[in-house]
């Protein structure tokens, strides 16, 4: 096989591959075995028909087409490995020559990771927020705890903001009652403004058994966005009563005997959270500085793919939440154009960061072993709320172990950057980068790491890991006369 690589741009190459027909013997063997099982030729059992009869039965052109479609992905992958091409995504394949018994030639244009070196990163100066916990923050946590232990008691008075009411709702448009738009026995806290616009104002001043009607736009369902008259009936009004912050409350809500002990525990827990936040902040800001220090071109297709992935993820979340894009943009106080610009910027930064971490892993010869892969699977499974074995099985079956491997190696590269950075808080104190003690032990699951490459440069991006072998383009099918 003869291979030539032409650089079309810093992020795209064109491979020209020429293969003598005798090197396609394996592809033809596989093709004949497959076709022999599919065709029925008189006098031969399924799978036993000879090649010459298969050629005559299905046509030599169809046999060649099938063999080429089988061979091209393998030949392409072999060329990529041979030429040390860091391919990203699917290539654009074009058959340029196909002569039976002579030669197969094709080209494959594909995006590649840009070539560059990560500059010296030791001593990156990073500033993070202070970890000090204020009395106000402790009070907020205790107030949240009080809310959890609140009780509701009936109130013999008109409803006020903050009260809990039991209500019935019904709607009508132009005097016609909407049978599908009504609900009974809804528990609602006045002032949360989480249902219909105008409902909170309508409820204030109503006593038990009181009824009123107000106009609003319906949300969701068949009549979404239409103006309707909504009638609300109050069945009961209840007041939330909070317990006093005293020793009795501490004993009720925790394992402590005094409120002072409870406050101290809340302060310690908040301090741990703040230290975790400092570590995460240090990682983010160190990576941002490293990304800013490197200027590299980015493949447009890879960035576009990341933009689409992020857009689809948002749309899925909005759909699950019952929200529209318009309401989301309104809540974020931005236009769709501003959102798209922000999306593109974030996607570009993410792709660039991935390239930099991959290159750093190459320079520092970082790898991942089975134990590290297993820990990654356990951590991801916990976040996804599934069993580690279930996730491991999915990764193996979908051939995504390489993606997990890449993520582990990138994390190690990021740890290296942070470990060599100079991290201080806003008050000038040096921040220790070890995570607070007390992390829960996790179960173990066995995941086999990909075979260790002879050349560390085979460590690729997640996009590389997910890319499947290309199929020959439709144009590759030869003419029947071939």
Cβ contact 202:209 at 8 Å: no
Local confidence pLDDT in tens for the 482 residues of the chain: 899 999 999 999 999 999 998 888 888 888 878 887 777 776 666 656 777 777 777 788 888 888 899 899 999 999 999 998 989 988 999 999 998 888 999 999 999 999 999 999 898 999 999 988 999 999 999 999 999 999 999 999 999 999 999 999 999 998 888 888 889 999 999 999 888 899 999 999 999 999 999 999 988 778 888 899 999 999 999 998 999 999 999 999 999 999 999 999 999 999 999 999 999 999 999 999 999 999 999 999 999 999 999 999 999 998 888 788 888 888 888 899 999 999 999 999 999 999 999 999 999 999 999 999 999 999 999 999 999 999 999 988 888 888 899 999 999 999 999 999 999 999 998 988 765 544 334 344 445 555 433 333 333 333 333 333 344 334 333 333 22
Domains and CATH numbers, the chain: 2-113 (3.30.70.1050), 115-149+245-294+364-460 (no CATH), 151-241 (3.10.50.40), 298-355 (no CATH)
Question: Phi and psi of 311, rounded to 5°?
Answer: -65, -45
Return d(Cα 404, Cα 409) in angstroms, integer: 9
Cβ contact 404:395 at 8 Å: yes
Question: Phi and psi of 108, rounded to 5°?
Answer: -140, 110
CA distances from 445 to 109, 387, 390 (A): 40, 10, 10
∠ CA 460-462-464, nearest 5°, is: 55
Name the pairing type of β-strands 422-425 and 125-128.
Answer: parallel
**Residue of 214, 216, 219 whose CA lies nearest to 202:** 214
Helices in 293-324 by DSSP H: which ranges?
300-321
Using DSSP, how many helices (H) and how many strands (E) does the chain show?
Answer: 14, 11
Q: Which residues contact 348 (CB under 8 A, 6 or more apart)?
A: 298, 303, 306
Torsion 28-30-36-39 (CA) sign: negative
Return d(Cα 45, Cα 476) in angstroms, integer: 31
Q: Tell me the β-bridge partners of 177.
A: 172
> Would you mind telling me the total number of residues written for the chain in this entry?
482
Prediction pTM value: 0.67
Tokens 């293969």 found at: 19
Q: Is 241 exposed, middle or buried (0-12, 13-18, 19+ CB in 10 A)?
A: exposed
Q: Is 317 exposed, middle or buried (0-12, 13-18, 19+ CB in 10 A)?
A: exposed
State how far Cα 150 lies from the chain centre: 38
């Amino acid at each position: 096989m003869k291979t030539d690589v032409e650089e079309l741009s810093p992020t795209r190459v064109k491979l020209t591959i020429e293969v003598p027909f005798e090197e396609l013997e394996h592809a033809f063997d596989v093709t004949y075995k497959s076709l022999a099982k599919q065709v029925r030729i008189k006098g031969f059992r399924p799978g036993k028909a000879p090649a010459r009869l298969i050629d005559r039965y299905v046509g030599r052109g169809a046999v060649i087409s099938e063999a080429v479609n089988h061979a091209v992905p393998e030949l392409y992958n072999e060329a990529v490995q041979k030429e040390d091409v860091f391919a990203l995504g699917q290539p654009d394949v074009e058959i340029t020559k196909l002569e039976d018994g002579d030669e197969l030639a094709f080209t494959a244009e594909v995006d590649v990771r840009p070539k560059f070196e990560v500059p010296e990163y030791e001593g990156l100066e990073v500033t993070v927020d202070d970890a000090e916990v204020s009395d106000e923050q402790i009070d907020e946590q205790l107030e949240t705890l009080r809310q959890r232990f609140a009780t509701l008691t009936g109130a013999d008075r008109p409803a006020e903001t903050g009260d809990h009411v039991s209500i019935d709702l019904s709607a009508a448009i132009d005097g016609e009652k909407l049978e599908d738009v009504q609900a009974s026995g809804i528990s609602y806290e006045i002032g949360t403004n989480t249902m219909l616009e105008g409902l909170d104002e309508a409820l204030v001043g109503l006593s038990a058994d009181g009824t009123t009607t107000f106009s609003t736009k319906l949300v969701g369902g068949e009549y979404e966005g239409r103006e309707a008259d909504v009638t609300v009936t109050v069945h009961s009004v209840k007041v939330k009563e909070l317990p006093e912050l005293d020793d009795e409350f501490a004993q009720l809500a925790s394992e402590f005997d005094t409120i002072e002990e409870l406050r101290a525990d809340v302060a310690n827990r908040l301090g741990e959270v703040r230290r975790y936040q400092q570590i995460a902040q240090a990682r983010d800001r160190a990576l941002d500085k490293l990304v800013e220090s490197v200027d590299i071109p980015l493949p447009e297709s890879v960035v576009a793919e990341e933009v689409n992935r992020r857009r689809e993820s948002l749309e899925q979340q909005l759909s699950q939440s019952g929200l529209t894009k318009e309401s989301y943009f309104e809540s974020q106080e931005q236009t769709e154009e501003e959102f798209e610009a922000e999306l593109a910027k974030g996607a570009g930064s993410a792709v660039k960061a991935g390239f930099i971490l991959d290159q750093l892993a190459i320079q520092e010869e970082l790898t991942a072993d089975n134990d590290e892969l297993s820990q990654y699977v356990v951590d991801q499974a916990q976040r996804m709320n599934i069993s580690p074995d279930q996730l491991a099985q999915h990764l193996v079956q979908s051939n995504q172990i390489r993606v997990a491997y890449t993520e582990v190696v990138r994390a190690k590269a990021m740890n290296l950057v942070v470990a060599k950075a100079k991290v201080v808080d806003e008050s000038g104190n040096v921040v220790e980068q070890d995570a607070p003690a007390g992390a829960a032990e996790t179960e173990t699951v066995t995941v086999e790491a990909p075979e260790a490459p002879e050349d560390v440069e085979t460590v690729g991006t997640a996009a590389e890991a997910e890319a499947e072998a290309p199929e020959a383009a439709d144009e590759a099918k030869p003419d029947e006369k071939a």
